[in-house]
Amino acid sequence: MLKRILFFFAFALMAGQFVSAQITTSTITGSIKSTTDEALVGATVVATHVPTGTKYTAVSRNGGAIRMENLRSGGPYTIEVSYVGYDKETYTDVYLQLAESFILNPVLKKTEKVMETVVLTTSGRSLLLNKNRTGAVTNIGLRMINQMPTVSRSLNDLTRATPQSNGASIGGGNFRQNNFTIDGSDFNNSFGIGGNLPAGGAPISLDAVQEISVNITPFDVRQSGFIGSAINAVTRSGTNEFSGSVYKYFRNEKYRGDEVDGVKFVRPVEEFNQWGFRFGGPIIKNKLFFFINYETESRPKPIQTRFAATAGAPYGSSPNVARPTADSLNFISNYLLSNYGYVTGPYDNYTPNEERKKYMARLDWNISNKHQLVLRYSQVEGGEPFPVSGSVGGTGITEAFADNRNQVHALWFKNSNYFQGANFYSFAAELNSNWGKVSNVLRGTYTYQNDSRTTESQVFPFVDIMSTGSTTRSLPYTSFGHEPFSFGNLRKVKVYSVVDNFSWTKNKHSWTVGGQFEQSETINGFQRFATSYYRFRTWNDFATGQLPSDFAITYSLSKNFAPAFSSFKFRQLSFYGQDEIAVSRNFRLTFGLRLDLPSYPDVPQIVTHPLVAAKTFAEWRNREYREPA
């Protein structure tokens, strides 16, 4: 029985890594007493978010305890504490940190004269030293975001402020073991290829981010789904004042050094351009606010730095002059166009661009003093060009390359390159409700990661033309056709999430119960040599219709050989509850329980090729073995 219990809890802990940690607000907690150490029951606390005029109200309960949930993070706030017969106390310039509790322990003094109001004002900045942390956490506010130096202008540049970070790795875990959310929605690289963030590591503009919280060991059942850290961020919102900015960032190779230990070297050409704007303000003052952000960036990516040999610049005259001649490549290009209608594109002197465009819009609606609604949409569209893969791939034929097709002895044509898309779309809606001792957060999110791969080539076999070398190990000379790993190459992940957290207070207890449903839908396509692959020892072999020295094709069992895509769904249902007990002003005890139930619905049956299914054991065919040169 004990083994079963231990297994159940181990499984629950492992399953938790699939669930998003989603906290987007802040909390004020504490107790109110008099100068004689009397607990004041029924005292009124009003916290006003100065930029938007949003008010939050609470009344102290038994023991003078107060707790205000679901407050906007950031500030400044003005907090007023009042009680009949006592001087009102006001705290100004108070800033609340994301996903953290702010401890407020006012001590009120009796009013000496009836009908006379005495206000004691205290700066909130000193109070920031008196806050409650639930585990190791680093908070990065707007001021720090604006002041921290960043080269790539990505979120990863900011999380390095965490002492436990080492690059994108935090808390000793792999960077894929972090869980990144913005406004409660999943901002992870859900497919897993590449860095820790989607959209090429830049899923949102830094100018759209209000605050970031990096939690290493949070003691909060609402936070789950990570081994390294839970990184929660919230976006900017509009205020009662119209404000905005226009910005541009530029960088080229001249910003880098060109000498190391007295040795000079040539700096590769680089040019990075990024510009954007943000603007926000009130639609209805104290009621409805908007915020928008747009950003675009581009940089040339010289994926072909070599040139074809000519009479004036023969092969070997410069490290950038390749072995193929301009005359032979022009002849090949014209031959393919006239005989097959295939357009190769140029073979040198071209530089494609890496580009990215980001959009974000947010609405904040103070429906009443009890309800606030937040709607946010963001998207990134762009990608990066890459040269044709140098990989030969396993074709089953023994003839070997002496070197890959990307080296100086070969030049390939432009239309055989590919463009790796990096698109990301996200929507979040959140309703925060407060009824005094009772509060609720209801949130729904959707994210869509689309990393499709495209090429400028027509559908055409990929062909390697070899030249020189020995009879067993030849060198590539040129390549043309559809990039061998790009046809039907697809990576798509959709993530849906609904979460509800219900909180209430009674005496010294602050209870939270909640549930979360999450579903991800993954589609993947990878079909190497889908347009077929051929290798010829010489151009003459190709032009005269000789047999290739190597060939391969991958085809699907779908109708008309349409690309086949594998897909699956993952669902997880979570339930949790916790109780925070204010034992005293200086001692709080929190305990909770969380249950995560993962499942894989509708797992499709694997379709097996009939020729493969008919075989019952490994069958070897006779091959001619040739010693490598």
- Are the CB atoms for 416 and 485 separated by under 8 Å? no
* Token digits of residue 300: 């040339």
More confident site: 59 or 331: 331
Q: Which amino acid is at 432?
A: N
- Are the CB atoms for 281 and 238 separated by under 8 Å? yes
Count other Cβ atoms within 10 Å, centred on residue 292: 16
Distance of CA 25 to the CA centre of its chain: 20
- Are the CB atoms for 555 and 563 separated by under 8 Å? no
Please determine, for residue 13, whether its predicted confidence score (pLDDT) is greater than 70.
no
Number of domains present in the structure of the chain: 3
The residue whose two tokens read 């999380």 is 159
More confident site: 436 or 246: 246
Residue range 398-415: mean pLDDT, rounded: 79
Q: Is residue 619 part of a domain?
A: no
Backbone angles phi, psi at 239, to 5 degrees: -130, -170
Residue range 204-211: mean pLDDT, rounded: 91
Count other Cβ atoms within 10 Å, centred on residue 155: 25
Residue positions counted in the chain: 629
State the pLDDT at residue 442: 95
CATH number at residue 331: 2.40.170
State the pLDDT at residue 393: 55
Q: Give alpha helix (H) positions in 221-307.
A: none
Q: Is residue 384 part of a domain?
A: yes
β-pairing, 107-108 vs 33-34, is parallel
Please determine, for residue 60, whether its predicted confidence score (pLDDT) is greater than 60.
yes
Q: Is residue 623 part of a domain?
A: no
Q: Is residue 386 part of a domain?
A: yes
User: Do 63 and 209 fall within a single domain?
Assistant: no
Burial of 113 (0-12, 13-18, 19+ CB in 10 A): exposed
> Among residues 186, 219, 236, which one ends one of the domains?
236
- Are the CB atoms for 141 and 74 separated by under 8 Å? yes
How far is the C-alpha of 115 from the C-alpha of 157, rounded, in Å?
Answer: 55
Residue range 233-261: mean pLDDT, rounded: 90
Residue range 599-624: mean pLDDT, rounded: 67
How far is the C-alpha of 326 from the C-alpha of 311, rounded, in Å?
Answer: 9
Judged by average pLDDT, the poorest of 208-217, 218-227, 269-278, 547-556 is: 218-227
H/E element holding 389? none
CATH number at residue 31: 2.60.40.10
More confident site: 96 or 474: 96
pLDDT digits (tens, 9 = 90+) for 152-186: 788 888 888 887 877 777 777 777 778 888 998 88
> Among residues 132, 153, 181, which one ends one of the domains?
132
- Are the CB atoms for 369 and 55 separated by under 8 Å? yes
Confidence of residue 133 (pLDDT cuts 50, 70, 90): low
Please determine, for residue 537, whether its predicted confidence score (pLDDT) is greater than 50.
yes
State the pLDDT at residue 336: 97
Please determine, for residue 328, whether its predicted confidence score (pLDDT) is greater than 60.
yes
State the pLDDT at residue 627: 46
H/E element holding 323? strand 321-325
How far is the C-alpha of 520 from the C-alpha of 189, rounded, in Å?
Answer: 12
User: Which domain range does residue 83 map to?
Assistant: 21-132
DSSP letter assigned to residue 84: T
State the pLDDT at residue 381: 95
State the pLDDT at residue 128: 33
Cis geometry, peptide bond prior to residue 76 (ω within 30 degrees of 0)? yes
* Token digits of residue 628: 């490598």
User: Do 100 and 214 fall within a single domain?
Assistant: no
The share of the chain scoring above pLDDT 70, in percent, equals 87
User: Do 609 and 480 fall within a single domain?
Assistant: yes
- Are the CB atoms for 597 and 574 separated by under 8 Å? yes
Confidence of residue 197 (pLDDT cuts 50, 70, 90): confident
> Among residues 215, 236, 257, which one ends one of the domains?
236
State the pLDDT at residue 256: 81
Please determine, for residue 397, whether its predicted confidence score (pLDDT) is greater than 80.
no
Q: Is residue 629 part of a domain?
A: no
How far is the C-alpha of 211 from the C-alpha of 213, rounded, in Å?
Answer: 7
CATH number at residue 142: 2.170.130.10
User: Do 596 and 510 fall within a single domain?
Assistant: yes
User: Do 531 and 422 fall within a single domain?
Assistant: yes
pLDDT digits (tens, 9 = 90+) for 95-128: 988 878 888 899 998 887 554 444 555 554 433 3
Confidence of residue 623 (pLDDT cuts 50, 70, 90): very low
Which residues on adjacent β-strands are paired with residue 292?
Answer: 279, 361
Residue range 551-558: mean pLDDT, rounded: 85
Please determine, for residue 357, whether its predicted confidence score (pLDDT) is greater than 90.
yes
State the pLDDT at residue 485: 92
How far is the C-alpha of 402 from the C-alpha of 399, rounded, in Å?
Answer: 10
Q: Is residue 14 part of a domain?
A: no
Residue range 218-224: mean pLDDT, rounded: 81
Which residues on adjacent β-strands are paired with residue 551?
Answer: 534
Q: What does the DSSP assignment read for 349-379?
A: S---EEEEEEEEEEEEEE-SSSEEEEEEEEE
Question: What sign does the CA torsion over 325, 328, 333, 336 have?
Answer: negative
State the pLDDT at residue 625: 44
User: Do 419 and 500 fall within a single domain?
Assistant: yes
User: Do 561 and 605 fall within a single domain?
Assistant: yes
User: Do 208 and 244 fall within a single domain?
Assistant: no
Q: What does the DSSP assignment read for 497-538?
A: EEEEEEEEEETTEEEEEEEEEEEEEEEEE--TTTT-EEEESS
Q: Is residue 522 part of a domain?
A: yes
More confident site: 202 or 595: 595
Judged by average pLDDT, the poorest of 141-145, 170-174, 382-386 is: 170-174
User: Do 404 and 528 fall within a single domain?
Assistant: yes
User: Do 534 and 550 fall within a single domain?
Assistant: yes
Q: Where are the beta strands (DSSP E) in 451-508?
A: 453-454, 462-467, 473-480, 490-506
Judged by average pLDDT, the poorest of 186-200, 551-565, 609-623 is: 609-623
User: Do 188 and 243 fall within a single domain?
Assistant: no
Backbone angles phi, psi at 16, to 5 degrees: -60, -20
User: Do 219 and 250 fall within a single domain?
Assistant: no
Confidence of residue 617 (pLDDT cuts 50, 70, 90): low
SS3 55: strand
Q: Is residue 378 part of a domain?
A: yes
